[in-house]
Amino acid sequence: MKEHLVNKSKVRRLTNADFGQLSTGESTQLFTLQNNLGTRISITNFGGIITAINTQDNKGMIADIVLGYDNIESYEHDPYYLGAVIGRYAGRIEQGTFSIADETFQLALNAPDSQLHGGKKALNKQLWQANKFQNNSSASVALTYTSPDGEEGFPGTVNFKVIYTLDDDNQFTLEYFASTDKATLVNLTQHSYFNLAGHNSGNILDHQVYINADHFLPMCERVYPTGEKRPVAGTVHDFTNATDLRTLGDEINGEDEQIKIGLGYDNYWLLNKESLAGEVLAAQAVEKYSGRCLSIYSDQPSLILYTANYIDGSQVGKDHCRYQSRAALCLETQRANSLHKGCSIDNVLLTPEADFYSKTRWVFSCL
């Protein structure tokens, strides 16, 4: 990035503007990162939400490829977590209860028989403090939020930080940090909904997907992992062919039991160890008509592929679009596999002795 944050007559690689006021009267900010390839990513400090990702297709045309809203009021009342940072705990905690060292905690419930994605006013509904910075090849926004002891029922005061960075190689890096003063649970992810043809272009049934995972976690009828680890081979959950990617629409309306339970794809895939250093491809999505390709690299051990199965057109999105079921896909890198049937909390336990850190990269390209 050759331009720096200078006077307003210059093209700025990192800009920010007011995004409106919350119902509490607090002002929000909107930041836009732009690189020399024309990619523009907009982020608000409310919920750490990515509100837009504009990228080129194979003809040089720019389109916004994530679902979202045009105003802050809609994000305040959003039931789908569009573009948000998810935590303290991404996923479902059955009955909202868990135990650490024989002490049981009751969390706020915001879904039938469970806490989902951190509770009623989780990280996606908080106003984060923001700082922006850049160098010659990248621009970043750093967001911080301190979650007090007992918020949504979780123990411990936790200091969270998320850094979003866009560089001139069309890499968008997401880094997550957390530290606590007492043992607690933390599992963070990003919940952007992608439609690589454009956010208002209909469904994603023709998108093709690769996932570097030989196993997935089947769900019970109540949409919790059963505790079984099942091979993907021979199932509709096999996305391991990197040269002949599976098209989502081929099986999404089929008779597979897991597809019926989730109303589409909505499972955990256990990423193969080779990808966990963050340098080997973990997942990829391709939209062949535009040629847009999203490649994901991560140090996280699992990933959820979710095909927007519960969106129902009730919310008015950007450009007055009413998004429907399967209007997008999410590829959520994370640690947990849902606290159900006594699942271990080892990989989501945060203690004062060891801070949380994770890193995921989204790489945008065209075929």
Distance (Å, whole) CA 173 – CA 166: 7
Distance (Å, whole) CA 319 – CA 356: 38
Residues 12, 174, 313, CA angle at the centre, nearest 5°?
Answer: 90
Say whether 332 is catalytic: yes
CB atoms within 10 A of CB 28: 21
Pairing of strands 349-350, 92-94: unpaired
Write the single-letter amino acid at 146: T
Q: Which of 152, 199, 332, 340 is catalytic?
A: 332
Distance (Å, whole) CA 47 – CA 57: 29
Strand partners, 18: 29
Burial 117-149 (b: 16+ CB within 10 A, else e): bbbeebbbbbbbebebebeeebbbbbbbbebee
Distance (Å, whole) CA 49 – CA 111: 21
Q: Which of 117, 191, 199, 340 is catalytic?
A: 191
Show which residues are catalytic: 191, 332
